[in-house]
Amino acid sequence: MEVSNNSRLGDIRHNYADFSKARRLLSFTPCWPFERGITESTRWVDGQQVQADHDKASIEERKLKVQY
């Protein structure tokens, strides 16, 4: 798979997980360490089928909606 670095309208460019508020307000504690979670997530993503790329069509559709 090729990463194009093209972003679409509404894409989140950067984010990070910070559950300190959940810990403080809900006494939340993760039950898996980060390393296990990222390993499981990666394994799941690797098992998914690659879908058709509709990036350009999506951009054009959003441009049409903005004109109204």
37-47 pLDDT tens trace: 999 999 999 99
Kindly state the average pLDDT of the residues 52-56: 83
CB 53 within 8 A of CB 1: no
List the structure tokens of 15.
Answer: 């984010």
Number of H helices, E strands in the chain: 3, 0
- Measured CA to CA, the distance from residue 48 to residue 16 in angstroms comes to 23
Total-model pTM: 0.43
The pLDDT, as a whole number, for residue 3 is 67
CB 34 within 8 A of CB 42: no
